[in-house]
Amino acid sequence: MPKKPAAASRLHRAARIDDAIHDFREKVVRRWGHLPTVIPYAGYGTTERIRVLGRVLLTKPPREGESSRSMQRREERVRGWRSFTSVPVGDIEVIIEIEGTVRTVRADRGGVVDTSVDVELVPGWHTITMRTHDSDAVEAPVFIVDPDTSFGVVCDIDDTVMVTALPRPFLAFWNTFVLDEHARTPTPGMAVFLERLTADHPGSPFIYLSTGAWNVAPTLTRFLGRNLYPRGPLLLTDWGPTSDRFFRSGREHKETNLRRLASEFPDIRWVLIGDDGQHDEEIYGEFALEHPENVRAIAIRQLSPSEAVLAGGRSKAEQAAAAPGTPKVYAPDGAGLAEKLRAL
């Protein structure tokens, strides 16, 4: 079992308690014969550097005669609450192979792999493999953006592409513990709107940026595919306390990733899509002020009155200052947003 780093003594008390609980659960399930398994997520990158995403969990060993691919599909079908109760393996080495290039990285304390690897790849979708020293390799897709690309889309998930209709305090609980992709409701017209955006700009990156937990990434991926949303990487966050605070900041997660995308793709101007029930308007507006050269437009889905009540009210950022020349459009569904963007 991997040793905990010396820096653990400087962790927030909540994080130390969280680690102690994970250590206990890890010992128990290892005695049950569970083995480390990499759950791969879609990544993205440039022709010279890629961002690799995944998570290491302790899972049941493969059944007799079961292939690694069949086992991967079995793990991906795990429903929300079981995904949450799976035991992550922190501080474990993960071996990444990218078309002959091999790199060894280390998962964080929550078992999450979020690392950059320098490698030369041609634009388009590629398949890489990830494994631990004790597990079979699993495949992960990676989208490489063409250097000449100047258009991209960043899109929120909850209440933007998916109608939640739940009070905010219960949203994370419901999405994580209860709901599977069959019970989620797509936002009317949004899939067609987003698909048209990608069809009009072939080869452009499409990023889903959400405050949801990595635990539900497989469920969200299936929901997006089942409802014909464009294919693209998910940028989610880990569940539980961080090294320096009790609760993770969803706003900080979005702001950090937007700035990272601006740094990784300085020539891309993004269409930022969200809703007016959280902080999307404010976050996108501030990013547009900070990086006006990287924002092509901001599209905000307006929640219905009942949805707005459940969301805790509407954002007041509609009246806030935006970067000069940055269009902002509002509509209650995908068809309205598409019409208003076409009119620009």
Is there a single domain that holds both residue 106 and residue 55? Answer: yes
pLDDT of 211 reads: 87
- 0.75 exceeded by pTM: yes
* Domain finish residue from 144, 177, 204: 144
Query: What is d(CA 141, CA 282) in angstroms, rounded to the nearest whole number?
Result: 32
Q: What is the CATH number of the domain that holds 230?
A: 3.40.50.1000
Per the structure, the count of domains in the chain is 2
Q: What is the pLDDT of residues 29-70, one digit of tens each?
A: 666 767 888 999 999 999 999 999 999 988 777 666 656 555
Tell whether 130 is covered by a domain: yes
Complete DSSP assignment for 65-82: T--HHHHHHHHHT--HHH
Choose one of 112, 144, 176: the last residue of a domain: 144
Mean pLDDT (the chain, rounded): 81
- Rounded Cα–Cα distance for residues 220 and 217 (Å): 5
Say whether both 65 and 211 belong to one domain. Answer: no
Residues 218-246 pLDDT 10s: 888 988 999 999 999 999 987 654 444 44
- Together in a domain, 14 and 134: yes
Q: How far is CA 188 from the centre of its chain?
A: 22
Q: Which residues pair with 37 in a beta bridge?
A: 57
Domain that holds residue 302: 151-343
Q: Are residues 193 and 329 in the same domain?
A: yes
The vertex-224 CA angle with 333 and 294, nearest 5°, equals 65
- Same-domain check for residues 219 and 281: yes
pLDDT band, very low/low/confident/very high, at 275 (cuts 50, 70, 90): very high
197 and 313, same domain (yes or no): yes
pLDDT band of 3, cuts 50, 70, 90: very low
According to DSSP, residue 178 is labeled I
Are the CB atoms for 177 and 213 separated by under 8 Å?
no
Give mean pLDDT, residues 82-106. 85
Q: Say how far apart CA 221 and CA 229 lie, in whole Å.
A: 10
Whether residue 267 sits in one domain with residue 282: yes
What is the tens place of the pLDDT at every residue in 134-178? 888 999 999 999 999 999 999 999 889 988 755 555 555 555 555
Are 134 and 157 in a shared domain? no
Q: Is the pLDDT of residue 200 over 80?
A: yes
Q: Is the pLDDT of residue 213 over 90?
A: no
